[in-house]
């Protein structure tokens, strides 16, 4: 192992490979900032460029683009509520409110520090434990994945304020329903397409995210014109947009969040098919639970914990997704699936023997991740004061820009005008739901998990001859489901326990 690390270090530290890391990070950051152009598109564009390189250099370039895109995607999420990539949707929940409060510079700085920390901690885990974690990854079966999806869905309570758990559950069901639109992957049958060819492939997650966040936000700002007092407040807030200073209290507040979210994000990334998006939602939900009643109320309104958690987790998950790719030859996400194709085209077969037969590829990619995180931090921190000035643009300019980038971003994914029409319909529906005070995040979570949940449930039932006994026969599945039940019941029971304790204290006071 030590020999392999030294080989990887010498390969990654060559001038060409350091240049490739820098180029990949810069290109990825820029592409990630543009709504609609995610890491999959970026890496697909890079594949023809990498054909002239040796495998290690080509994969280092693509890895740089991957975590650069996730790093950059937070910028548009924070500034204009338009997630650049799916993994940064949860970043918008608290990043955008912080920017609206006049702390855009601080929000971007927290995102940069959290991303760097999550990526670095995950790179160290990857360096130490990659071969061992491959065994953990293989231990998960369809039944465990189904239970994990159920646990993810119980995080909806994290996106619901006091007394809004039922609304959050209803929106989750709506998301699950939307995820069933399209072609059934197992039977090949069309479902809820109404005979329309444009719906055969289902609804794009990016389309739904852009419609419910960026486009609906722009429409809401038109429906609720700003008063003179609001305009004055914005002008005062814009004076501080570039401030990136974090107080020692804020650093202490987010330090444990970064540690926990790094571990969670990395472990979720290790599981094939989970990815950065699920990791960011789970980290957000976990931190909202751990924050307590007082700090928990700040989530969704500009909480620095709520910003640090998903930003740390999504970058950690990016590193984690390389575990199944490099050690098992199983892509952990759509992006690493493209990388798998690129590796095979180089004549390299990822799998258990990769770090024996091609140690320079295996270890150089892992070491380049740490270099990439340093480069991303150096690239982005000096630019934050200038990037934050986007919010200083007049409202009459900013809203049309948000509309333009949202519509063009979705169009560039499929080059289909039907997607634009569908996006507008979803945006109008989102405006109505927001006016009714319905949370959007649970719907997106239900949509993300719906497809994987159905697929793993069906596979589990086939393996167990249509018996539901798998829910309690496997200890790991049962343990995850028990945790999910506790997470779901906790917000309903805690007010009752609180009232009971308050009543006892009152009785004790009267008795005294």
pLDDT band at 35 (very low <50, low <70, confident <90, very high): low
* Inside any domain, residue 257: yes
Q: Is the pLDDT of residue 492 over 70?
A: no
Residue 261 — pLDDT band, cuts 50, 70, 90? very high
Phi-psi map region of 347: left, alpha, beta (phi>0 left; psi -120 to 50 alpha): left
Give the number of other Cβ atoms within 10 Å of residue 136's Cβ: 13
Confidence class of residue 257 from pLDDT cuts 50, 70 and 90? very high
- Give the tens place of pLDDT for each residue, 416-432: 888 888 888 999 999 99
Examine the pLDDT at 411 and tell me if it is beyond 70.
yes
Q: What is the mean pLDDT of residues 161-168?
A: 71
pLDDT number for residue 1: 61
pLDDT score recorded for residue 163: 62
CB 75 within 8 A of CB 387: yes
Is residue 330 included in any domain, yes or no?
Answer: yes
Question: Phi and psi at residue 466, in whole multiples of 5°?
Answer: 60, 20
pLDDT at 498 over 70: no
Question: Is residue 191 situated within a structural domain?
Answer: no
Flag whether 70 is in a domain. Answer: yes
User: Is the pLDDT confidence value at 339 over 70?
Assistant: yes
| Residue 249 resides in a domain | yes
In a domain, 241, yes or no: yes
Q: What is the pLDDT of residues 432-446, one digit of tens each?
A: 998 888 888 788 878
3-state helix/strand/coil string of 200-258: CCCCCHHHHHHHHHHHHHHHHHHHCCCCHHHHHHHHHHHCCCCCCCCCHHHHHHHHHHH
Q: Percent of the chain beyond pLDDT 90? A: 4
Domain that holds residue 379: 1-142+204-422
Which pair of structure tokens corresponds to residue 202? 């289902």
347: in domain: yes
Q: How many domains are contained in the chain?
A: 1
256 part of a folded domain:
yes
């Amino acid at each position: 192992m030590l020999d392999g690390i030294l080989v990887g270090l010498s390969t990654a530290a060559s001038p060409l490979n350091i240049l490739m890391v820098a180029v990949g990070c810069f290109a990825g950051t820029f592409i990630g900032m543009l709504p609609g152009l995610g890491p999959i598109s970026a890496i697909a564009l890079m594949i023809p460029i990498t054909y002239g390189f040796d495998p290690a250099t080509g994969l280092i370039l693509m890895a740089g683009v991957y975590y650069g895109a996730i790093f950059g995607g937070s910028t548009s999420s924070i500034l204009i509520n338009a997630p650049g990539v799916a993994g940064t949707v949860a970043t918008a929940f608290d990043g955008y409110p912080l920017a609206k409060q006049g702390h855009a510079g601080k929000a971007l700085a927290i995102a940069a520090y959290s991303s760097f920390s999550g990526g670095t901690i995950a790179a160290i885990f990857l360096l130490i434990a990659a071969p061992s974690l491959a065994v953990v990854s293989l231990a998960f079966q369809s039944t465990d994945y189904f239970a994990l999806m159920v646990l993810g869905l119980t995080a909806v309570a994290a996106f619901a304020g006091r007394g809004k758990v039922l609304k959050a559950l209803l929106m989750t069901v709506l998301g699950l329903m939307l995820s069933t639109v399209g072609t059934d992957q197992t039977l090949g049958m069309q479902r809820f397409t109404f005979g329309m060819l444009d719906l055969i492939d289902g609804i794009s997650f990016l389309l739904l995210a852009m419609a419910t966040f960026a486009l609906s936000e722009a429409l809401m700002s038109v429906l609720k014109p700003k008063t003179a007092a609001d305009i004055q407040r914005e002008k005062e807030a814009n004076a501080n947009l570039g401030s990136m200073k974090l107080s020692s209290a804020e650093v202490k507040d987010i330090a444990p969040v970064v540690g926990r979210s790094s571990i969670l994000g990395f472990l979720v990334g290790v599981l094939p098919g989970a990815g950065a998006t699920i990791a960011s939602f789970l980290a957000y939900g976990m931190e909202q639970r751990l924050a307590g009643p007082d700090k928990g109320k700040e989530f969704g309104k500009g909480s620095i914990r709520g910003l640090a958690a998903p930003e740390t987790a999504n970058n950690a998950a990016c590193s984690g997704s390389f575990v199944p790719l490099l050690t098992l030859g199983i892509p952990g996400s759509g992006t690493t699936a493209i990388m798998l194709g690129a590796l095979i085209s180089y004549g390299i077969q990822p799998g258990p023997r990769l770090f024996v037969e091609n140690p320079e590829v295996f270890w150089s990619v892992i070491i380049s991740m740490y270099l990439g995180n340093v480069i991303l931090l150096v690239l982005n921190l000096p630019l934050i004061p200038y990037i934050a000035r986007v919010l200083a643009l007049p409202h009459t300019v900013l809203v049309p820009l948000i509309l333009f980038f949202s519509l063009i971003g979705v169009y560039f994914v499929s080059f289909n005008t039907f997607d634009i029409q569908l996006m507008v319909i979803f945006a109008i529906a989102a405006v109505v739901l927001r006016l009714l005070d319905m949370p959007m995040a649970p719907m997106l979570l239900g949509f993300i998990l719906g497809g994987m949940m159905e697929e793993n449930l069906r596979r589990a039932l086939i393996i167990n001859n249509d018996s539901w006994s798998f829910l309690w026969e496997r200890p790991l599945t049962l343990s995850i489901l028990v945790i999910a039940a506790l997470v779901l019941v906790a917000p309903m029971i805690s007010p009752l326990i609180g009232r009971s304790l308050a009543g006892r204290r009152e009785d004790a006071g009267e008795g005294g």
